[in-house]
């Protein structure tokens, strides 16, 4: 007796991924007096500094905490890092 051939079931798995990035005035810079350098310097937002110097923002904040990057915090609590430190 011949047995029936097994049915071949083919499945196609399609995976969709969507990525959403919201950036609101995070890539800003300006000329400010850097307290670490003692002179006017190009001050960058942490996100902009991370992108320009190919670092993560966590690394930027680690360096701020370690004291290796000068920074200034404005009255509105926005933080800028010194571009001369890189």
Place of tokens 């923002």: 57
The domain locations on the chain are 29-85
Length of the chain: 86
Of 18 and 66, the one with more pLDDT: 66
Mind listing the pLDDT tens digit for each residue in 66-77?
A: 999 999 888 888
Of 21 and 80, the one with more pLDDT: 80
Mind listing the pLDDT tens digit for each residue in 42-62?
A: 999 999 999 999 999 999 999
CA–CA distances in Å: residue 70 to residues 22, 44, 45, 56 = 27, 11, 12, 17
Of 49 and 16, the one with more pLDDT: 49
| C-alpha to C-alpha distance for 49 and 66, rounded to whole angstroms | 16
Mind listing the pLDDT tens digit for each residue in 4-14?
A: 767 777 778 77
């Amino acid at each position: 007796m011949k047995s029936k051939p097994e049915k071949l079931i083919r499945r196609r798995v399609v995976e969709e991924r969507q990525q959403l990035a919201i950036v609101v005035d995070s890539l800003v810079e300006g000329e400010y007096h850097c307290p670490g350098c003692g002179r006017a310097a190009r001050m960058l937002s942490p996100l902009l500094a991370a992108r320009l110097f190919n670092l993560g923002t966590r690394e930027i904040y680690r360096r701020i905490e370690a004291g290796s990057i000068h920074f200034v915090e404005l009255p509105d609590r926005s933080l800028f890092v010194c571009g001369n430190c890189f």
